[in-house]
Amino acid sequence: MVTRQKAREAVRIGGKEIGRVLITGASAGIGAELAREFARHGHRLTLVARRREALAALAAELEREHQVDVQVIAQDLAKPGGPAAAVKAAQAGGEEIGILVNNAGVIDVGRFADAQPEKLIGLVDLNVRTMTEMTSRLLPGMVARGVGRVLNVSSLSAFQPVPMMAAYAASKAYVLSLTEALSEELRGTGVKVTALCPGFTETPMISEIQAGSAAVRGLPKQFLSDPSDVAAQGYRALMSGQTVVVPGLPNQLTAAWAQVTPRWVTRYNAGVATRRTV
């Protein structure tokens, strides 16, 4: 763990100091862009991921460009005790975590029957268990203080079953459902929970998806979202208290279509599209 000195005045919500922002999976992709977005707005950051070197490089960039205090915690959240260790390290200095960003996640592309059980269980562990535990450990303190924010990075796939990404889509549906339920539980507490549901985004993860899906490989570049745009929209939605945000008009139309179409139709169409490109 590396802690650096505070360089800017604390961010407040409704007159109350919000505390630090803890971002999981912050070393690359949307997580790194979210770190940059929060830094631009003057938040003090705690960045959590497995790769210490990548985190340290990002921390140095943010401190240099935005004069914010950045704490780095190298921790594998998928391991037993990982989330508890990360929270303990983040709180070691006595400062409260006022914003939690659950971004850490992995994907598996291909037929469910062909996947290694260990890989699927690892996906569920990180995408579901870790975000649930991180939220459970930090949410009570936010409620007690009467101020806080939780941003859960879900996916456009949360709105429908996705053959060839079955476990991933199911895990993101859990993230979306939990977020929506908590947003109602927490009404009136001063704590807001937001689900960020991006579509295909130009991050390292997209390469893995394209390798396993001919349909995604054939997508025109204009259908891929820019991660900095996704992060900016996620930040605005979180700070304004919006419950669900889907960046990009094509993705918004897809999500709306999935919600008004009978599930059997959505399922059938997804299956047809997948079988034609496998």
Region for residue 188 given its phi and psi (left: phi exceeds 0; alpha: psi -120 to 50; beta: otherwise): left
| CA–CA distance, 14 with 141 (Å, rounded to integer) | 17
Tell me if residue 235 is catalytic.
Answer: no
Phi, psi of 195 (to 5 degrees): -105, 125
Are 97 and 72 in contact by the 8 Å Cβ rule? The answer is: no
Token duo for residue 55: 């985190």
- What 214-223 contacts at long range (C-beta under 8 Å, 24+ apart), as own/partner pairs, is 214/277, 214/278, 215/273, 215/274, 215/277, 218/277, 223/199, 223/250
Three-state SS for 13? strand
Among residues 168, 174, 235, 268, the one annotated as catalytic is 168
Residue 156 and residue 173 in contact, taking contact as beta carbons nearer than 8 Å: no
159: left (phi over 0), alpha (psi -120 to 50) or beta: alpha
Among all residues, which ones are annotated catalytic? 168
